[in-house]
Amino acid sequence: MKRIEALRAVVDATSDLPVIATCAATSRELASIEDRDNHLYLLDAMGLAVSVGTGLAQAIEGSAVLRAVVIEGDGSLLMNPGAALTAGYLRPENLVIVLLDNGVYASTASIPTHAQQLDLGRIAEAVDLKVLQVQNTEELALALRQTLSENGPWFIHARTEPGNEPGIELLLIDPVVHGDRFRRWLSQRLHA
């Protein structure tokens, strides 16, 4: 599946959940599908999506918001693999990590990553995340349904094709305004 097809499956499953998206092209493609208030785009914080998602999962625990969803890439996870260790250590049951693994740094000229040889799903398993392997959008949709109804911490390892969707616009957002939009969306639901 293409990354944008995987992102559509995530968008379809997460209208009511906070979604934290990793750097650059992934965030831009997500916003191009739908730029919703429940999305938090991390345009430049390299490798930080899993850490932010784990922190958010802690912060919403016990509230009416049942999951924190992270969209991470293979290259980005490899920049901060300790984040997966800490997620495995803290074991937030409400955390769902969706790893879009295309084996390349697609945002930076498709240079190959370690994921060409290393299985990041096995690494996630080794740190006690619950791993689901998916190859296509049907499997991804099923996996998302499972992770939203059964307790995690989840790690959906989705294999995607290399490459970026052509013609996607830049995301020219003020991070303060963007973050505040996300915070307002979340705070309404936390106290619902």
Q: Which span (18-26, 31-39, 99-107, 126-134) binds Mg ion, by CB under 5 A?
A: 99-107
Q: Does 175 bind other proteins (CB under 8 A)?
A: yes
User: Shortest approach of Mg ion to residue 113 CB, angstroms?
Assistant: 6
116 secondary structure, DSSP code: G
Helix, strand or coil for residue 181?
Answer: helix
User: Shortest approach of other proteins to residue 176 CB, angstroms?
Assistant: 5
Alpha-carbon distance of 130 to 127, in angstroms, equals 9
Q: Which of 7, 124, 138 is nearest to 71 (CA)?
A: 7
CB-CB contact of 84 with 50 (8 Å): yes
Q: Which span (55-63, 69-77, 141-149, 167-175) binds Mg ion, by CB under 5 A?
A: 69-77
CB-CB contact of 28 with 170 (8 Å): yes
**Taking CB within 5 to 8 Å according to partner kind, which of other proteins, Mg ion, none is near residue 176?**
other proteins
Q: What is the largest CA-CA distance in the chain?
A: 46
**Taking CB within 5 to 8 Å according to partner kind, which of other proteins, Mg ion, none is near residue 36?**
none
Q: Which helix (H) or strand (E) holds 104?
A: strand 104-105
**Taking CB within 5 to 8 Å according to partner kind, which of Mg ion, other proteins, none is near residue 74?**
Mg ion
CB-CB contact of 10 with 49 (8 Å): no
**Taking CB within 5 to 8 Å according to partner kind, which of other proteins, Mg ion, none is near residue 190?**
other proteins
Contact residues for other proteins (CB under 8 A)?
A: 18, 40, 42-56, 58-60, 63, 80, 82-83, 85-86, 89-90, 175-176, 178-179, 182-183, 186-187, 190
